[in-house]
C-alpha cells in the first residue's frame, strides 16, 4: 500500500534518472557482474554507468542513439549490452536473484511447481529487422515470449520465437530447458493451449491444464494462472517491451529476462 512513509523510502528523486540503480540495488547486482581483467586496457567507463544506460533504454523504450549524454556513449552501452547478452549474464543474474528472493521469502531455493504461458508482442513497425510471424489467435504480427515462472511469479526460464510458433511447441522447449537449471520441478500449470499428449510426455514434469469455468465469457481470473499474467503485467511496464523492436531474438530475450531480474533486484533491496 502506498503511504507517505513508503513513498519516501522508495523515492528516486535524488538519482540523475528514475531508472538508475540506487546504492542498495547496485550492491546486490555488482557481485554478479564481470570485473576488469588484471591485464589489458582498463575500462574507460564504470560498469554501473553502463548498466544504468541499459536500464534507461529498457524502461523508457528510447532508441540507442537517443540515449542522454549523461550516460556513456550510446555505442559503448549498446556494445556492452550485446556482450553481456552473448555471455548469458542476464540469465545467470535472473537465476541467482530468483534463488535469493525465494530464500528471503522462506522458501526452498529450487522450486517444485511452475506456471507456463506465452505473450505475443507486436512488431515495432515497417523496416524493423528480424524474423517475424503471424499469430492468428491474437491477430498479432511480431514475436512471442514464452515464460516459465514459479508459483510466486519469479521468472525461471524464458524464450523468444516468431509469433506463428504454437504455444505448446515453445512450452516443450522451456520444460526441457528447465531440467538443467531447475532439476526439482515436478508440476506445472498451464492453459488449454498446452493440452495434449505431446507436451505432457515431453519431460517428467506433470502438466495440469487450468480449465475456465463452465459458461465463462470474457475475462476472468483463473486459479494459479493469474500469477504469470501478473508477471507479464509487471514486465510490460518497460516500454522497450511494449512492442518488438529487436533485430535478433537474443536481444529480445535479454531485455525480457533483464526486466524480470530488475523486479527482484528492487524487491531484495527494499528488504535490506
pLDDT, tens digit, 9 for 90 and up, residues 16-61: 788 999 999 999 999 999 998 888 888 899 999 999 999 999 999 9
Helices and strands (H and E) in the chain: how many = 9, 6
Q: What is the dihedral of CA 31, 33, 36, 37, to 10 degrees?
A: 100
Distance of CA 102 to the CA centre of its chain: 17
pLDDT of res. 11: 61
Lowest mean pLDDT among 16-20, 109-113, 161-165: 16-20
pLDDT range class, residue 155, cuts 50, 70, 90: very high
Contact 205, 188 (CB under 8 A): yes
- Within a 10 A sphere around the Cβ of 183, how many other Cβ atoms? 9
Amino acid at each position: 500500500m502506498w503511504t507517505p512513509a513508503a513513498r519516501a523510502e522508495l523515492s528516486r528523486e535524488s538519482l540523475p534518472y528514475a531508472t538508475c540503480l540506487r546504492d542498495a540495488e547496485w550492491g546486490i547486482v555488482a557481485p554478479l557482474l564481470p570485473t576488469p581483467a588484471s591485464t589489458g586496457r582498463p575500462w574507460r567507463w564504470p560498469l554501473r554507468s553502463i548498466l544504468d544506460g541499459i536500464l534507461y533504454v529498457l524502461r523508457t523504450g528510447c532508441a540507442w542513439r537517443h540515449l542522454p549524454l549523461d550516460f556513456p556513449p550510446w555505442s559503448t552501452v549498446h556494445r556492452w549490452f550485446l556482450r553481456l547478452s552473448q555471455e548469458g549474464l542476464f540469465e545467470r543474474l535472473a537465476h541467482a536473484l530468483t534463488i535469493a528472493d525465494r530464500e528471503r521469502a522462506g522458501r526452498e531455493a529450487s522450486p517444485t511447481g511452475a506456471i507456463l504461458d506465452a505473450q505475443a508482442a507486436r512488431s515495432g513497425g515497417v523496416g524493423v529487422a528480424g524474423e517475424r510471424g503471424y499469430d492468428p489467435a491474437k491477430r498479432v504480427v511480431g514475436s512471442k515470449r514464452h515464460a516459465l515462472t514459479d508459483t510466486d511469479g519469479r521468472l525461471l526460464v524464458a524464450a523468444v520465437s516468431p509469433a506463428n510458433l504454437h504455444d505448446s511447441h515453445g512450452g516443450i522447449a522451456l520444460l526441457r530447458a528447465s531440467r538443467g537449471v531447475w532439476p526439482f520441478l515436478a508440476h506445472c500449470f498451464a492453459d488449454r493451449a498446452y493440452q495434449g499428449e505431446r507436451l505432457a510426455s515431453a519431460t517428467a514434469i506433470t502438466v495440469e491444464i487450468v480449465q475456465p469455468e463452465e459458461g465463462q465469457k470474457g475475462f476472468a481470473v483463473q486459479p494459479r494462472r493469474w500469477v504469470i499474467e501478473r508477471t507479464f503485467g509487471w514486465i510490460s511496464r518497460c516500454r522497450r517491451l511494449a512492442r518488438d523492436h529487436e533485430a535478433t531474438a537474443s536481444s529480445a530475450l535479454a531485455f525480457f529476462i533483464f526486466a524480470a531480474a530488475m523486479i527482484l533486484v528492487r524487491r531484495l533491496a527494499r528488504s535490506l
